Amino acid sequence: MTSRDIEQGAAWIKEARDIVVFTGAGVSAESGIATFRDEDGLWAKFSPSQFGTWQGLLDVAISEPHRIAEYLTTLLDPIAAARPNPAHRAIAEIERHRRVTVITQNVDGLHGDAGSSRILEIHGSLLDIVGPMREPIRRLHRSDLARIVTLLREARGESSMHRPMGADPSTGFEISPRDLFSILAPFMTLGTGVFCRPSIVLFGEAMAEPAWSQAVHAAENADLMIVVGTSGMVYPAAFLPSQARAAGARLLAVNKESIDADLMLHGSAAEIVPALVSTAFG
Interacting residues with ligand OAD between 24 and 43 (CB under 6 A): 24-26, 29-30, 35-38, 41
Q: Measured between alpha carbons, how far is 143 from 81 in angstroms, rounded to an integer?
A: 8
Q: Is 84 in the site for ligand OAD (CB under 6 A)?
A: no
Angle at 106 between CA 34 and CA 129, to 5 degrees: 110
Q: Is 51 in the site for ligand OAD (CB under 6 A)?
A: no
CA 117, distance to chain mean position in Å, is 17
Interacting residues with ligand OAD between 220 and 259 (CB under 6 A): 229-231, 233-234, 254-257
Choose between 175 and 216: whose C-beta lies nearer to ligand OAD: 216
Q: Say how many residues touch ligand OAD, by CB under 6 A.
A: 26
Which one among 67, 88, 123, 142 touches ligand OAD, defined by CB under 6 A? 123
Q: From residue 103, how far is each of 144, 158, 230, 240 by CA, in Å? A: 25, 42, 12, 9
Q: Is 5 in the site for ligand OAD (CB under 6 A)?
A: no
Task: Give min distance, CB of 34 to ligand OAD, in A.
Answer: 8
Q: Does the N-terminal peptide bond of residue 241 adopt cis geometry, omega within 30 degrees of 0?
A: no
266 is known as an active-site residue: no
Q: Is 159 in the site for ligand OAD (CB under 6 A)?
A: no
> Are 232 and 241 spatial neighbours (Cβ–Cβ below 8 Å)?
yes
Choose between 26 and 274: whose C-beta lies nearer to ligand OAD: 26
* Interface with ligand OAD (CB under 6 A): 24-26, 29-30, 35-38, 41, 52, 105, 123, 201, 203, 229-231, 233-234, 254-257, 268-269
Query: Which sequence positions are flagged as catalytic?
Result: 123
